Chains A and B, each alone.
Chain A
Amino acid sequence: MKSDKWKPWALLAPSLSAILFLLVIPVCFIVVYSFWLRAPSGADIPAFQFGNYAKFFEDFFYPKILIRTIRISFETVVLCVVLGYIPAYFFYRSESRYKQAFLLLIMLPFWVSFIIRTMSWINIMGDSGLINHFLLKIGLIQSPISMLYNEFTVLMGLLMYLLPFMVLNIYVSLEGIDKSLLEAARSMGCTEWQAFREVTLPLSLPGVSAGCLLVFVLTAGTYLPPMILGGPSNDMIANLIFKRVIGTLDWPFGSAISVILLLLLFVIVWTYNRYLGINQIFKSLQGN
């Protein structure tokens, strides 16, 4: 073939420069800024010192938020697996002619704004919300119970956002299973349950773990559900970043917290990639 070595680079030039200038360099800036000083006047002074990081670990206030972020992300992952596996399995095994419609429906929340899905929990769990209204009406309670602004409601908001990602990941890996393997297991005398346990479940685990990673990463980086559905004691690390950067305009400290969040996620993604490989995640996102 003729020398067309330059061609792929020409095709890649726009997207690579976009990512380079709008993502790679700006993220490097966060790292640089995290070492800067903030003058009492509010100005940022270039420096190389670890004061911002020291401030984060100086007492238990910030590390507690970091640990809470990890805990809530973990809880969300577990809830997503528990709530998501069976529906994904249902789509996989269903022979209904409405199967495509079911799948489309579970994707539908992707198309509904995150903020609407989050704030609607107030409609449901607020003092005059759906649940209180129902309980009052059937006479189970005399006055509304307050249910909002705690970790439970934050988890509800997070689930709303992340469950479709999990279902999709599991479904994609289930779809990839050769159905003749199941038939073989059945013909050799396995019960339905044994066939599931010995064949389907192990083969779907790559999808489950890819879903777990994606859900964890997305949860750890979000601030909207704690902000709208949580109280002050439910803040996650992204809320902290938002408050420092948008609220108090403390760029150096906000940058340091961002770096800490990035490091946390990097360690998780790197470990995952080392043992399980990361490509499964991208596979599931292609379909929608």
Chain B
Amino acid sequence: MKQFSLGWTLIRVYTILVYVFMFTPIVVVIVLAFNPKQFGIFPMEGISLRWFVKLAQNDAIIEAFKNSLILGSLTAIISTAIGILAALAFIRFEFPGKNTLNTVLLSPIMIPEVVLGVALLLFLRFLQQPKSFALLLIGHVVLTLPYVLLIVQARLVGIKKEYEEAAKSLGANAFQTFKEVTFPLLLPAVLAGALFSFTISFDDITATLFWATAQNQTVPVKIFSMLRNSISPEINALGAVMIVLTVTTPLLAGYLSRKFSKVKD
């Protein structure tokens, strides 16, 4: 392939411009988080950590972070657990209505989050239950389950059934086979699914805004309520902390798992 032709150069420049477009808002948030002044956005007047200090002293924000972390972790655990089971059923067994059920389980991706938000809230209202942390948790499980299912299914297809059959023929029962053979082979997908659901839950705003209460605020909901006044360096600082957290976690996990698998070889 001609990697140096005029056409290719144009493609490259175009791609770089799209990257600039995609990343400017993200970079700007991080840069402005260090903006010392109280009002207005640009120009920056030096570099300061005052807004990070202010964040760390703000109990409501610390509380929101705690909520988000607990919610994200529980969502990841539950979604991944039930997602693995469902993926096993779809890939390892034949049963009637398989394709339809698969589509049903993936359907939350295609249903607008607004509708999901209203639907669950309405159901709760019908049951005469108040909004609670549990509502956020079950809601987030529904939101993330399809992604876990997709990721784990894709990996499971690639794991040969023969391994499991070999284990069984050597006398392992179904649970031992899963624990000793399938699960270790599945681990990268399990981690990816768990991380993905953690981030989706941690970042979600569209549906969460319907389910959250003043007592159960997550970080995005907190940002949303702070935005009511106007944008401020404090919001940018909070945004920067979130970006660093949600971006480095998967990168770190990817790095660790690669290192881990190399050691094993």
Q: Mark A74-103, 1 if CB is under 8 A from B, else 0.
A: 000000000110110110010100000000
CB-based contact A120/B26 at 8 Å: yes
Q: From residue B227, how far is it (CB to closest CB) to chain A in Å?
A: 6
Interface centre among A106, A112, A193 (most CB of B within 10 A): A112
In the complex formed, the residue of B with least CB distance to A84 is B18
Q: Which chain A residues lie closer than 8 Å to B93 at the CB level?
A: 4, 7-8, 11
Task: Please tell me if B105 contacts chain A, counting CB pairs below 8 Å.
Answer: yes
Flag if B115 contacts A19 (CB, 8 Å). Answer: no
Q: What chain B residues lie within 8 Å of A25 (beta carbons)?
A: 123
> In the assembled complex, which residues on chain B have CB atoms less than 8 Å from the CB atom of A26?
119-120, 122-123
Chain B interface residue count, CB cutoff 8 Å, equals: 94
Which residues from chain B contact A108 at a C-beta distance below 8 Å? Answer: 26, 247
Most A CB contacts (10 A, CB to CB) among B18, B107, B205 go to B18
A248 CB–B CB distance under 8 Å: no
Q: Are A86 and B112 in contact (CB under 8 A)?
A: no
CB < 8 Å: which of A7, A11, A245 contacts B118?
A245
- Known: A18-B142, A261-B112. Contact between A114 and B205, CB under 8 A? yes
Q: Are A18 and B112 in contact (CB under 8 A)?
A: no
For the complex formed, measure the closest distance between the CB of B213 and the CB atoms of chain A, giving whole angstroms: 12
**Cβ of B104 under 8 Å from chain A:** yes
The answer to whether B112 and A217 touch across the interface, beta carbons within 8 angstroms, is yes
- Is the pair A30, B82 in contact by a Cβ cutoff of 8 Å? no
Q: Which residues of A contact B69 (CB under 8 A)?
A: none
CB distance from B220 to the nearest CB of A (A): 5
**Contact status B110-A238, CB under 8 Å:** no
B210 and A246 form a contact (CB under 8 A)? yes
Known: A123-B32, A228-B227. A22 touches B19 (CB 8 A): no
Given contacts A87-B18, A113-B246, 14 further A-B contacts (CB under 8 A): A16-B101, A18-B138, A23-B116, A27-B115, A108-B26, A112-B246, A112-B247, A115-B220, A120-B239, A123-B28, A192-B5, A192-B7, A262-B115, A286-B153
Sort A-B residue pairs by CB-CB distance and give the 6 closest, nearest first: A221-B112, A120-B25, A26-B119, A133-B42, A11-B89, A8-B93
| Residues of A near any B CB (own CB < 8 A) | 4-5, 7-9, 11-12, 14-16, 18-19, 22-27, 29-30, 33, 83-84, 86-87, 89-90, 93, 95, 105-106, 108-117, 119-124, 126, 128-130, 132-133, 159-160, 163-164, 192-193, 217-218, 220-224, 228, 238, 241-242, 245-246, 251, 254-255, 258, 261-262, 265, 269, 278, 281-282, 285-288
Enumerate chain B interface residues (CB-CB to A < 8 A): 1-3, 5, 7-8, 11-12, 14-15, 18-19, 21-26, 28-29, 32, 40-43, 81-83, 85-86, 88-90, 92-93, 95, 101, 103-116, 118-123, 125-126, 138-139, 141-142, 145, 147, 149-151, 153-154, 196, 199, 202-206, 209-210, 219-220, 223-224, 227, 230-231, 235-236, 239, 242-243, 246-247, 250
For this complex, 27 residue pairs linking A to B, each with C-beta atoms less than 8 Å apart, are: A7-B89, A15-B83, A15-B86, A15-B105, A15-B149, A18-B141, A19-B107, A22-B120, A22-B139, A22-B141, A23-B142, A30-B115, A30-B118, A113-B205, A113-B239, A115-B224, A120-B28, A120-B239, A122-B231, A123-B28, A124-B25, A192-B2, A238-B112, A242-B209, A246-B210, A265-B111, A286-B153
